[in-house]
Amino acid sequence: MPLSEKVRIEIFIPDLPDQTYSSILENLGNELTAAFGGCTVILSVGKYRTIDGVILPDKINILFSDTPFHWGRDRLIIEQYSERLRLSVKRSLQEEESILVSIYPVYHSE
């Protein structure tokens, strides 16, 4: 069975009570859907350690979409798109909380 290469864009957005994060999730979900035909949101619970060493739960939304890009051929387009996402999120955030954007090749069996 042949494999088809795609590039996956994942955006990790903290699930915080601040309306800004809900707006970012909604806007980026709309962006990925308009650009690539759809996206998936997964609510996940992880953990993190504070500076004081206390381990706390960490609720996060993982937003992702597989694109038609090819890692080697479309690298510049991928980097430019990633930078646009980063700048959009940076403009939206007023606090120092970070949002991770992860981009990597995936292969689908067709």
Q: Does residue 90 have a pLDDT over 90?
A: no
Q: What is the pLDDT of residues 19-76, one digit of tens each?
A: 888 999 999 999 999 999 999 999 988 888 889 999 988 899 999 999 999 999 999 9
Instruction: Give me 18's structure tokens.
Output: 């601040």
Return the pLDDT at 95: 65
Cα distances (angstroms) measured from residue 68 to each of 9, 47, 55, 76, 102: 11, 33, 39, 14, 16
Q: State pTM to two decimals.
A: 0.84
Residues 6+ apart with CB under 8 A from 91: none
Q: What is the pLDDT of residue 81?
A: 93
Judge contact between 56 and 47, C-beta under 8 A: yes
- Where in the chain are the domains? 3-109
In this predicted structure, what is the pLDDT of residue 86? Answer: 85
What φ, ψ does residue 17 adopt, rounded to 5°? -70, -15
CATH number for the region 3-109 comes to: 3.30.70.120
Beta strands across the sheet bearing 40-49? 40-49, 55-67, 3-14, 100-109
Mean pLDDT of all residues in 77-86: 91
The more confidently predicted of residues 97 and 2 is 2
d(CA 8, CA 64) in angstroms, rounded, equals: 7
